[in-house]
Structures are given as structure tokens and as C-alpha cells.
Amino acid sequence: MIPKKQTAALFTGFLSASILAAASWSSPAGAAEEVSFKLDVFPILASRCVSCHGPGGTGYKESGLDLTSYEGLMKGTKHGPIVVPGDPLTSNLDVLIEGRAQVQMPHDQRPLLKCQQNIIRNWVKQGAKNN
């Protein structure tokens, strides 16, 4: 049998370690880790957006937005840029995927998952790098 003082010390140590571990697991994505266009953002665009916003697609024909490459995304639409590096609040890409406009993208599909929106938002916030 373990004495009460040792049990209390073991429990306190375990509790402290558990709190520290939980804090590190729940830290917001992107706080310490860099979001990659190639590894994190582009797969979302390729799976959910490129069918319309690629050459020949309806979204490409209407807006001129080509999401098949970093360069196409950063070029934007016929009306101007869609990404403001460092500023997700005013980036039209974020406005559209987060449903903060009358039109939400992807159009006529279910919205991007919150985790997908967060990846894109963090990438824009980190400067929208071609990484």
C-alpha cells in the first residue's frame, strides 16, 4: 500500500502533466506550425474547388479564377485579387468559403468543413506563401 503523502504527490504530478499535455494538444492550429500551400491548402482546393475553378469549369468561365495552381489563386479573378496575404478578414477567398457573403463557395455543395476553413484562414494569416 502506498502512503497517503506519496499518493497525493503522485496524483499532483500526474494532474500537472495531464494539464500540460492537454494544453499542448488544444493549441490552435497554425499557432506554432506553418501551414503549407502544397501540403495543406492545395489538396482542399483540388478536391472541392478545381472542378469549377479550373480551365473549362463554370466558375473559371464566370470569374476567371483558376485554382489549379498557386499562381492562378494569387492572380485572382477578373475583378481583382481574392487573397490578401496576412489578412483573412478581408480576403475574398475566406469571405466566400466562410459564408460571409451572399454567395458561399463551393457553390451548390456542402460548405468546407470548419477544419478546412481554418487551414485556409491560417495560411492566409501566415502570409499566403507558396510553400
Q: Does 66 map to a domain?
A: yes
Map grid coordinates 468546407 to a residue: 112
80 bridge partner residues: 77
Ranges assigned E (strand) in the chain: none
**Per-residue pLDDT at 15:** 36
Q: How many domains does the chain have?
A: 1
126 Cβ contact list (under 8 Å, min separation 6): 30, 34, 35, 86
DSSP-based three-state secondary structure for 80? strand
**Per-residue pLDDT at 4:** 53
DSSP 8-state assignment for residue 77: B
Q: Does 130 map to a domain?
A: no
Q: Count the neighbouring beta carbons within 10 Å of the beta carbon of residue 49.
A: 24
Residue 80: φ, ψ to 5° = 130, -175
DSSP-based three-state secondary structure for 7? helix
Nearest to 128 by CA among 41, 26, 56, 67: 41
pLDDT tens per residue, the chain (131 residues)? 555 554 444 444 433 433 333 333 344 544 569 999 999 999 999 999 999 999 999 999 999 999 999 999 999 999 999 999 999 999 999 999 999 998 889 988 999 999 999 999 999 999 999 99
Q: Does 23 map to a domain?
A: no
Q: Does 79 map to a domain?
A: yes
* Domain housing 51: 37-125
Q: Does 10 map to a domain?
A: no
Q: Does 95 map to a domain?
A: yes
Supply 11's cell numbers.
Answer: 496524483
